[in-house]
């Protein structure tokens, strides 16, 4: 079980920005800090901006800032957004080919396990991730 780099980078971006309150930060600055691909990180930052969790300003002195509500957003909400893939094939009825979906005991079990995973993440906000951190 693995989260995508999209989720990993999204959470790293939010942690970095939470630990630089009120500051405008650049994708280059974060990519250098984490030692990860600028292209990949910029792509994820763009997605977070599109979702309304970041705001962006261009030009000299421009950069990314957290939107006002982001600190109080549940971590599970972020991860649900960045993890677009379903846990198993049968979670997407339109493309599912498994012949035992009807009456299958595994599907509800995996669904319950996935919910337990997100319940833990939903009990914490973005703010919690950067508590007492100074980057």
Give residues in contact with a copy of itself (CB under 8 A): 1-3, 8, 11-12, 15, 33-36, 75, 79, 83, 85-89, 97-100, 103-106, 109-110, 112-114, 116-121, 124, 128-133, 135
In whole angstroms, the minimum distance from the beta carbon of 63 to a copy of itself comes to: 20
- Burial bucket for residue 44 (CB in 10 Å: 0-12, 13-18, 19+): buried
What sign does the dihedral 15-19-22-27 (CA atoms) show? negative
Two tokens, residue 17: 């920005």
Select 62 or 135, whichever has its Cβ closest to a copy of itself.
135
Two tokens, residue 5: 């780099």
Q: Considering just the CA atoms, what is the radius of gyration of the chain in Å?
A: 18
In whole angstroms, the minimum distance from the beta carbon of 125 to a copy of itself comes to: 11
Q: How many CB atoms lie within 10 A of CB 114?
A: 14
In whole angstroms, the minimum distance from the beta carbon of 82 to a copy of itself comes to: 10
In whole angstroms, the minimum distance from the beta carbon of 17 to a copy of itself comes to: 13
Select 47 or 87, whichever has its Cβ closest to a copy of itself.
87
Select 47 or 88, whichever has its Cβ closest to a copy of itself.
88
Select 26 or 56, whichever has its Cβ closest to a copy of itself.
26
**Residue recorded with tokens 């942690």:** 15
With vertex at residue 108, the alpha carbon angle to CA 107 and CA 110, rounded to the nearest 5 degrees, is: 65
């Amino acid at each position: 079980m693995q989260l995508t780099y999209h989720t990993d980078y999204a959470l790293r971006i939010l942690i970095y920005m939470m630990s630089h309150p009120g500051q405008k930060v650049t994708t280059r600055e974060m990519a250098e800090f984490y030692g990860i691909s600028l292209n990949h990180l910029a792509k994820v930052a763009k997605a977070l901006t599109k979702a309304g969790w970041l705001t962006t300003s261009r030009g000299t002195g421009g950069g990314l800032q957290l939107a006002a509500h982001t600190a109080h957003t549940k971590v599970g909400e972020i991860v649900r957004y960045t993890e677009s893939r379903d846990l198993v094939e049968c979670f997407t009825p339109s493309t599912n080919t498994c012949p035992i979906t009807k009456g299958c005991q595994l599907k509800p079990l995996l669904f319950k396990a996935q919910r337990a995973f997100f319940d833990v993440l939903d009990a914490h906000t973005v703010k919690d991730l950067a508590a007492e951190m100074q980057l």
